[in-house]
């Protein structure tokens, strides 16, 4: 039997942020391999499927990547449709490249369904667009911790978004300042973005470490630079022609 694999983005948490295409594939799935942060509210969409937890969480026991790849290859040959349900978007820090390689080597068909990444959910939650006309022309999506466990921060864009900063916010702040960001650079931290219990806090970069307690144990994204500024402040810094006349 030759099946297919659907790599599906589950979004940042809330079940109703799932796309219609993703919901349709879940309804058709025989097996669902799901990440740790995917919502349990999605299960009624695939009551007939076998759900297998292959989640990864920092500082906790996780499913090794080679095991996930082997499961995809084996289950893809045993079932008609296997959904690989990934938190956020499959192509943003989801190890999609490794799993695609395994599926291709197994000779299986596949498709990829995009999802809402945590960076976009955080921007929506705080009403702070990641790009701003005339000021915020570039955005970088970064991991805060490298594969060997080191904290890394840089400065390459007007706005930088850091995933998986976890308990290392103080170290990240030091790295970012060393890379050239000023200590008073605005920073926005959102944990569990896209969920009903999302939390948001604002900081100057030099004081980012203070956010660690508030967001402890919660998956967080850290927005640095122009995209972290409240819209009112951003508009004041970049007034549009005729704005004063309109205000009057």
Q: What is the pLDDT along the chain (248 residues), one digit of tens a residue?
A: 678 999 999 999 889 999 999 999 999 999 999 998 888 899 999 999 999 999 876 555 689 999 999 999 999 999 999 999 999 999 999 999 999 999 999 999 999 999 999 999 999 999 999 999 999 999 999 999 988 889 999 999 999 999 988 789 999 999 999 999 999 999 999 999 999 999 999 999 999 999 999 999 899 999 999 999 999 765 655 655 544 443 43
**Phi, psi (degrees; rounded to nearest 5) at 123:** -65, -40
Q: Which of 79, 90, 100, 82 is nearest to 32 (CA)?
A: 82
User: Catalytic residue among 89, 164, 196, 197, which?
Assistant: 164
User: Catalytic residue among 35, 86, 89, 158, which?
Assistant: 35
Active-site annotation holds for 56: yes
Active-site annotation holds for 1: no
The side-by-side arrangement of strands in the sheet containing 199-204 is 139-143, 159-163, 220-225, 186-191, 199-204
**Phi, psi (degrees; rounded to nearest 5) at 159:** -130, 135
User: Catalytic residue among 1, 30, 56, 184, which?
Assistant: 56
- What the chain holds in terms of domains, given with CATH numbers, is 4-113 (3.40.1010.10), 118-234 (3.30.950.10)
- Does the model's pTM come out above 0.85? yes
Active-site annotation holds for 35: yes
């Amino acid at each position: 039997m030759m099946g297919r694999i659907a790599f599906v983005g589950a979004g940042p948490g809330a079940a109703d942020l799932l796309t219609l295409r993703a919901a349709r594939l879940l309804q058709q799935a025989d097996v669902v391999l799901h990440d740790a942060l995917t919502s349990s509210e999605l299960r009624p969409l695939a009551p007939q499927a076998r759900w297998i937890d292959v989640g990864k969480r920092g500082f906790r026991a996780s499913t090794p990547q080679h095991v996930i790849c082997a499961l995809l290859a084996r289950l893809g040959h045993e079932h008609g449709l296997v959904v690989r349900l990934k938190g956020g978007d499959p192509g943003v820090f989801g190890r999609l490249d490794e799993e695609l390689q395994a599926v291709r080597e197994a000779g299986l068909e596949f498709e990829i369904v995009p999802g809402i990444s945590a960076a976009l959910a955080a921007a929506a939650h705080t009403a702070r667009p990641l790009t701003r006309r005339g000021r915020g022309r570039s955005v970088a999506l970064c991991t805060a911790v490298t594969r060997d466990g080191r904290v890394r921060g840089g400065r390459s864009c007007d706005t930088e978004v850091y995933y998986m900063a976890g308990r290392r916010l103080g170290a990240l702040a030091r790295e970012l300042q060393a890379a050239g960001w000023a200590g008073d650079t605005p920073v926005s931290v959102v944990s569990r973005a896209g969920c009903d219990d999302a939390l948001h806090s604002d900081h100057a970069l030099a004081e980012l470490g203070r956010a660690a307690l508030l967001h402890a144990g919660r998956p967080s994204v850290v927005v640095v630079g122009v995209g972290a500024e409240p819209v009112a402040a951003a508009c004041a810094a970049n007034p549009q022609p005729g704005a004063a006349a309109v205000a009057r």
